[in-house]
Amino acid sequence: GFGFGFGGVGVGGFGGIVSLGVIGGIGLDLVGLIRLGITVFSLVILIAVANSIAIGYALIVVWSIMAYVFYRKGYTLKELLNLSWTGAKTSIVVMQIFLLIGWLIAMWQAAGVIPMIIATGIDLIDPSIFIVCAFLITATVSMLLGTALGTVGTIGIVLITMARAGSIPENIVAGAIIAGAYFGDRNGPLSSSASLVAALTHTKVSTNMPIMFKDGIPALIISTVLYLLLSQWYPLNYENSLLSDTIHFIFNIDWTLWIPVIIVIGLLPLKVSIRWPIGLSALVAAILAYTNQGATLSDLGWYTLTGFELPHYNPLADIIHGGGLQTMFIPTLSIFMATAISGMLEGVGFWNDIRQLLERAKTRSDVFAANVGLAFLTGAVGCSQAIAVVMTHSIMRITYAQRGIQDEDVMLDFENSGILIAPLQPWNIAAYVPVVMMGTSTAGYVPFAFFLYLVPLLYWLRLRNQDQPIIR
Query: Could you read off the pLDDT of 291-346 as tens digits, one per residue?
Result: 999 999 999 999 999 989 988 888 888 778 778 888 778 778 877 887 788 788 77
Q: 106 pLDDT exceeds 70?
A: yes
Q: 22 pLDDT exceeds 70?
A: no
Residues 6+ apart with CB under 8 A from 424: 431, 446, 449, 452, 453
State mean pLDDT over 152-161.
Answer: 83
* 88-115 burial: b if 16+ Cβ within 10 Å, else e: bebbeebbbbbbbbbbbbbbbbbbbbbb
Which residues are registered as beta bridge partners of 363? Answer: 469
State mean pLDDT over 153-159.
Answer: 81
Task: Answer positive or negative: Cα dihedral of 106, 110, 116, 119.
Answer: positive
Q: 25 pLDDT exceeds 50?
A: no
Which residues are registered as beta bridge partners of 308? Answer: 322
Q: Are 419 and 185 in contact (CB under 8 A)?
A: yes
Collapse the DSSP code of 469 into the 3-class scheme (helix H, G, I; strand E, B; otherwise coil) and give the result: strand
State mean pLDDT over 424-445.
Answer: 86
Q: Are 349 and 30 in contact (CB under 8 A)?
A: yes
Q: 24 pLDDT exceeds 50?
A: no
Collapse the DSSP code of 463 into the 3-class scheme (helix H, G, I; strand E, B; otherwise coil) and give the result: helix
Q: Are 129 and 231 in contact (CB under 8 A)?
A: yes
For residues 369 and 371, what is the distance between their CA atoms, to the nearest angstrom? 5
Least confident of 17-31, 236-250, 344-358, 450-464: 17-31
Q: Are 449 and 424 in contact (CB under 8 A)?
A: yes
- What's residue 30's pLDDT? 53
Closest to 277 in 3D by CA, of 89, 100, 415, 80: 100
- What's residue 11's pLDDT? 30
DSSP state of 237: -
Q: 221 pLDDT exceeds 90?
A: yes
State mean pLDDT over 251-263.
Answer: 91
C-beta neighbour count of 292 within 10 angstroms: 18
State mean pLDDT over 461-471.
Answer: 78
For residues 458 and 440, what is the distance between their CA atoms, to the nearest angstrom? 28
- What's residue 436's pLDDT? 83
- What's residue 2's pLDDT? 27
List, for residues 51-93, the tens digit of each pLDDT value.
767 778 888 888 898 888 888 888 999 999 999 998 888 778 7
Query: H helices within 252-327, ranges in order?
Result: 259-267, 275-292, 297-306
pLDDT band at 233 (very low <50, low <70, confident <90, very high): very high
- What's residue 19's pLDDT? 37
Q: Are 109 and 257 in contact (CB under 8 A)?
A: no
Collapse the DSSP code of 66 into the 3-class scheme (helix H, G, I; strand E, B; otherwise coil) and give the result: helix
Q: 232 pLDDT exceeds 90?
A: yes
For residues 25 and 215, what is the distance between their CA atoms, to the nearest angstrom? 45
List, for residues 169-205, the tens digit of each pLDDT value.
999 999 999 999 999 888 876 677 787 788 888 888 7
User: What Rg value do the Cα atoms of the chain yield, rounded?
Assistant: 23
Residue 137 carries which side chain, given as an amino acid letter?
I
Beta strands (DSSP E) in 113-264 are none
Residue 151 carries which side chain, given as an amino acid letter?
T
pLDDT band at 134 (very low <50, low <70, confident <90, very high): very high
- What's residue 20's pLDDT? 40
State the chain's mean pLDDT as an integer. 81
Q: 264 pLDDT exceeds 90?
A: no
DSSP letters, 97-138, are: HHHHHHHHHHHHHHHTHHHHHHHHHHHHS-GGGHHHHHHHHH
